[in-house]
Amino acid sequence: MATGKLYDKHPYETEFTAVVEQVKKGEDPGCWEVVLDQTLFFPEEGGQSPDQGEIVIHDIAYEVVYVSISDEVITHTIRGENEPMPGQKALGRIDWGHRFSNMQNHTGEHIFSGIVHRAKGYDNVGFHLSDRMVTMDYNGVLTRGEIEEFTRQANRIIAEDLPVICEYPSEEALEAMEYRSKKEIEGAVRIVTIPGVDVCACCAPHVRSTAQVGLLMVVGDQSYKGGTRLSILCGLRAVADYQKKQGILSLTGRNLSTNWENIPETVDKLRSERDNLRYQLSSLSAELLEISARKLPEGENACLFTDCSDRNVLIRTLNGMKQEHPGIAVIFAAKDGVTEKEKVSFSYVAASLTGDSRRFSEQLKEKFGARGGGKPEMVQGSVAAKQEELAEYVQKFVINE
């Protein structure tokens, strides 16, 4: 028997009574799959997450953890120690905050998709309403300017307080009707109409009028499968998002000692100062590294340890080192700062005038588990080891043996 869908006609009701028709042990411990003769709980369907709440059976309250539908039969997955029995009476309670939030966001999606369809002819070919976000996939490209304009139009429609009409038209009326639908529908078709804005087949609960959507904001957009994917927030979710972002802006403004309106300009200035400091630091690091290279003791082999990460500086210094040290010349650049005693992750470059540098790389792999390779003239890679162990190893290394 098909489950009676109380949410179709009574989306604002929060409590209902029903009779347990079927009970099956759930997949998770302590869970039961229960079918009632009727329900206010909207199941996961049409891209929307299911209702939340509780069902009281024989004076025992069970948490509703999931609601699904198959062949018009709605199954409530509930959690509780005692097994419910067929024939028992049940009292269901909907989590109204969750339900109303979904209603606001789903009606908001209809408003925005109706605007897009009328203005551009695009269809909403993918829809997902989770507990936090709504995403819509349109089969056409929307520019940033169009998105902003459609957002303004959507909020004007919300302010107009238009009715949201949910009904099952007769077959004759349905055949003469133009409406949006993401799939072929068998049986009775439920149509949600916002006069002058949208007509769409939909199974979900909606608010009574557009004013109850409250607010609609697009919070994300991206190219997707040749079209556009948008993320929106409506009603109380949009308000919470605005408050969060306003708090971040205010805190950032205080930290930067400026008003939030001036944050972009202040950040650009700080970025420019940072880039100048990086350039100066890089220049100083290059000078220091080259000075250190000139002070190295004479010998076949030589190595330097640095925290300089500029590859051009490292290669230039290495080329000078190999002229003075014909065996192997190596520079180890610490990824997390130079440490004398602890094991550190280094990147390295090594070169030789008289032998095959790859031999050094291969032996470094055998000794320390290093990674890397290159050409006979120069190799590069990474290694994690103690600084003194690497220094000792370089001094003992023989390039031609």
Sign for the pseudo-dihedral over CA of 157, 163, 168, 170:
negative
pLDDT digits (tens, 9 = 90+) for 32-66: 999 999 999 999 998 899 999 999 999 999 999 99
SS3 at position 165: strand
| Radius of gyration, alpha carbons of the chain | 34
Q: Record the pTM.
A: 0.74
Q: Which residues contact 164 (CB under 8 A, 6 or more apart)?
A: 107, 110, 192, 193, 194, 206, 207, 208, 209, 210
Q: So what's the architecture of 279-396 in CATH?
A: Roll (3.10)
Question: What mean pLDDT do residues 78-84 have?
Answer: 92
- Max distance between CA atoms of the chain, in angstroms, equals 98
Average confidence score pLDDT of the chain: 92
The closest alpha carbon to 116, from 236, 234, 230, belongs to: 230
Out of 3.40.50.800, 3.40.50.300, 3.30.980.10, 3.40.50.170, the CATH code matching 100-250 is 3.30.980.10
CATH 3.30.980.10 residue ranges in the chain? 100-250
pLDDT number for residue 183:
64
Question: What mean pLDDT do residues 204-216 have?
Answer: 97
Virtual torsion, Cα 380, 383, 389, 393, nearest 10 deg: -30
Rounded to the nearest 5°, which phi and psi values hold at 7?
Answer: -70, -20
pLDDT number for residue 186:
66
Q: Is residue 175 scored above 90 in pLDDT?
A: no
Cβ(17)–Cβ(6) below 8 Å:
no
CATH 3.10.310.40 residue ranges in the chain? 279-396
Share of residues in the chain with pLDDT > 90 (%): 79
Q: So what's the architecture of 4-94 in CATH?
A: Beta Barrel (2.40)
Question: What mean pLDDT do residues 68-74 have?
Answer: 94
pLDDT digits (tens, 9 = 90+) for 256-315: 999 988 999 999 999 999 999 988 888 888 888 889 998 999 999 999 999 888 888 899
Q: Helices 235-255 and 263-294 sit at what angle, rounded to 10 degrees?
A: 50
What b/e sequence results for 112-140 when a residue is b if at least 16 CB atoms lie within 10 Å of its CB, and e otherwise? bbbbbbeebebbbebbbbeeeebbbbbbe
Cβ(370)–Cβ(361) below 8 Å:
yes
pLDDT number for residue 348:
95
Amino acid at 96: W
The closest alpha carbon to 102, from 67, 77, 55, 78, belongs to: 67
| pLDDT-based confidence at residue 232 (cuts at 50, 70, 90) | very high
Q: Is residue 369 scored above 80 in pLDDT?
A: yes
Question: What mean pLDDT do residues 164-173 have?
Answer: 92
> How do the residues of the chain divide into helix, strand and coil, expressed in percent and rounded to 5?
35, 30, 30
| pLDDT-based confidence at residue 399 (cuts at 50, 70, 90) | confident
Q: Helices 235-255 and 96-120 sit at what angle, rounded to 10 degrees?
A: 90
pLDDT digits (tens, 9 = 90+) for 103-159: 999 999 999 999 999 999 999 999 999 988 999 999 999 999 999 999 999 999 999
Question: What mean pLDDT do residues 213-226 have?
Answer: 95
pLDDT number for residue 226:
92
pLDDT number for residue 111:
97
Question: What mean pLDDT do residues 310-329 have?
Answer: 91
CB atoms within 10 A of CB 389: 12
Length of the chain as a residue count: 401
Burial of 48 by CB count in 10 Å (0-12 exposed, 13-18 middle, 19+ buried)?
Answer: buried
pLDDT digits (tens, 9 = 90+) for 333-363: 988 655 555 788 999 999 999 999 999 999 9
SS3 at position 10: coil
Query: Between β-strands 378-386 and 53-57, what pairing exists: parallel, antiparallel or unpaired?
Result: unpaired
Cβ(101)–Cβ(236) below 8 Å:
yes
What is the rounded distance in angstroms from the CA atom of residue 175 to the CA atom of residue 331? 78
Q: Is residue 184 scored above 80 in pLDDT?
A: no
